[in-house]
Structure formats: structure tokens, C-alpha cells
Amino acid sequence: MNDGLNLTRAEFDPESARRSGRKLFMCRHLGRSQGITVEGIASRHDLDLLFQDKYDLRWLSYYTDREAGTTFCISETPSIEAVEACHREATGGVPHRIVQVEWGTVEAFLGHVAMPGRGQPWEQSPIRTILVAQIANSAELTLRLGDSRARALYRTIEELCRVEVESNVGYQVLTMAPGIVTSFASATKAVACAAGIQLGVRAESEKQRLVPLEIKIGLNAGEPLTEDGELFGAAVEVARQLCAKAPPGTVFASGVVRDLCSGKAVDFSLQESLRIAGEEPLRVYGVKVPEDLHQILPATLFPDGLTKREVEVLGLLATGKSNQQIASSLIISLNTVARHVANILDKTGASNRTEAAAYAYRFRLTS
């Protein structure tokens, strides 16, 4: 009996791949996952694995949004043709889109890429919430402070943002002085990060006294690939435009983010509709920034009220370790491990260790 989900962190060496003529590809499958179970999706992936050696290909991982009927997979191989041929022989079909991607960009948006063992049901959502933050009055600040003092202030704000991003289990994708682009697996954590940045900037502005300092933030969520072929290109562009549209000192979010935060203690107010690049009008919501971030999230750095010790246990559980192995690693009793595991299942809503392991990778709670 498998005591836990056998997950390994997928590795890719860009320099070695370049020398050997190998590349990284992401596939997008439409309609492939509708109406089938997590076990069915895992079976399809196992079929792909059976033929990977034949086509000089290595599957690294896959992501599934069953509600949208979309699956994404990542592979290392010399050509798109190899990806198509492997899929065709394994499952009888080819992806709707295959795009070459950069490993650094993939990990920046999706976090550590996890690979499940063969025959194991596994589900990880590809949806990411993108946060774009920009100092609203950077030109004015540079004129008033001069280049040197302004750069020092921007570094202070960047560090403030970095701390908030890491505290909310996010990944910083890009620093574009004076601003950032970040990615979150949890929309609620992204909102909490945005609120934390605004509160921190307000405190810094009061500290500076004579220097008005305001930041504006845009939030949007989406899948990795759309028809433009860029990794999260459309999701990032909408977040950028929401950031540009937001008044100084505020947070604007798309309707998708609001829907993902449904049931959470986040106060959204409908602002207007925004048309972007000829698409259908987008619902734009303002996010009320509370004075106490605990209104959005529990008083913890970890999701769903998990404690630091529970996250340590969860991280070991996610690697497939038994309760006895966890007890030995952490030097605690078996009864204590069992109690932590029960708390983890209750807090995360997981019904078994496999689902808890998937949760750990989804929220990047593993090393």
C-alpha cells in the first residue's frame, strides 16, 4: 500500500539542454479532461510515459483544470514533432497548441514543478493569480528626491513587496523598477499580499513625511497558455492594464479574481467595465484594503491556518514518508505525528494523504 503520493521535483538544466539540442515545451489540450476523473487523467499521463523513451522525450509534469476541460503538460525533447508523435501513439490525439517555453519563466509562474509517480491520481491546477504593482508617482518622486534617493526608496519598496510576496506563498516573476509582477496559486493569498503591500507603503509614506508615496495594484487570474502562445501572456497583460487603471493607493481586480475569492472575507466593489484589446468588456472590482489583514487570512504565514509544525509534517508527507519516518525526521512521537496529520486533513479539506500531498505542491509548501 502506498503511504503517500510519490512526488519528485522536476529538474531541467537549460545549459545542458542547449548543448544537446533539447528544448522545453508546454502543451495545451482542450476538452480532454471534461467528464473524466482524476484517475482517468492520470491514466492518460501514464500512457504518455510508456512511449517517452521511444521519442527521446521526458515528461516533466501536467496540470489540469477539469471544470474548464483543459490540461497542460510540460516535456523536454528535441522537437515539437516528438511531442505530437508521443501523444498520438499514447492516447490517439495531439495537443491543440504546443509552445516552446523557458524553464525560468515556467518556475517563476508555476513554482517548483512536481512530477507524480506512475499510476498515482494527481491534480494540480494551472490557474495562477497575477499581481502587478507600480509606484504611481515615480516621476514626481525622482524629481523631488533626485536619482540616488529615489533609487534607495524604490529598493525599500521592492524589499517590502518581496517580504509580502514570500509571506503569502507567491513567486516574484519580474522586477520592473519601480514595480513588480508576481504569481500566486491562491487568489486569496494574492489579495492578502496586495493589501499588505498597500498598508506597508502607507506606513513608509508616513515615515518619509515630506515624500508622498502611493502604489497601485492590478490583479487578474488565468491559465498558462492561450492562443497568443505566451506563458500567462494574456493574464499578465490584463493585470497590467488593471494596475494602470487603478487610482493611486488602490487595488483593482478582475471578475475572475473576485469569483476565485468567493466565500472569503474579501470586500469587492464593482467599479466599471474595461475593454482590453478588443475583447469582451471585463468586470473591474475595487478591493477594500482592511486595516487588519487577519480579516482576509488567519494569523499565519501559511494557508488555511496551518501551523509551522503542520507544514513541516505536510512537507515530509508529500514526499511519501510514513508516519514513522516523519516521527524519526522531526524527533517527535508517532501519536504526535498522527495528531498533526489529522489536523492537516481537517484544515486543508483533504480526504487522504494523496490529496494532502497535492495540496502541499499546489501551495508550494514543500522544499
Q: Is the pLDDT of residue 301 over 70?
A: no
Query: Does 168 share its domain with 288?
Result: yes
- CATH number where 267 lies: 3.30.70.1230
Query: Does 106 share its domain with 132?
Result: no
Query: Does 158 share its domain with 289?
Result: yes
- CATH number where 41 lies: 3.30.70.3090
Asked whether residue 171 is assigned to any structural domain, the reply reads: yes
Query: Does 132 share its domain with 244?
Result: yes
d(CA 241, CA 237): 6
Asked whether residue 122 is assigned to any structural domain, the reply reads: no
Determine the structural domain holding residue 325 and report its residue range: 304-362
Strand order in the sheet with 23-30: 58-65, 70-77, 23-30, 97-100
Domain count for the chain, please give it: 3
Asked whether residue 367 is assigned to any structural domain, the reply reads: no
Q: Which of 295, 320, 354 is the last residue of a domain?
A: 295
Could you tell me which residue, 365 or 210, shows the higher pLDDT? Answer: 365
Chain segment 89-102, per-residue pLDDT in tens: 999 988 999 999 99
Q: What confidence score (pLDDT) does residue 3 get?
A: 42
Q: Which of 295, 317, 347 is the last residue of a domain?
A: 295
Chain segment 19-41, per-residue pLDDT in tens: 999 999 999 998 755 567 788 88
Query: Does 135 share its domain with 277?
Result: yes
What average pLDDT score do residues 60-72 get? 89
Do residues 224 and 72 lie in contact, with contact meaning Cβ atoms separated by under 8 Å?
Answer: yes
Q: What confidence score (pLDDT) does residue 102 get?
A: 94
Asked whether residue 190 is assigned to any structural domain, the reply reads: yes
Q: What confidence score (pLDDT) does residue 213 get?
A: 83
Query: Does 142 share its domain with 212?
Result: yes
Query: Does 102 share its domain with 156?
Result: no
Q: What confidence score (pLDDT) does residue 141 get?
A: 84
H or E, element range at 355: helix 353-362
Query: Does 288 share its domain with 164?
Result: yes
Do residues 251 and 268 lie in contact, with contact meaning Cβ atoms separated by under 8 Å?
Answer: no
Query: Does 226 share its domain with 111?
Result: no
What average pLDDT score do residues 228-241 get? 91
Query: Does 285 share its domain with 311?
Result: no
Query: Does 198 share its domain with 260?
Result: yes
CA 127, 85, 223 angle in degrees (round to 5)?
10
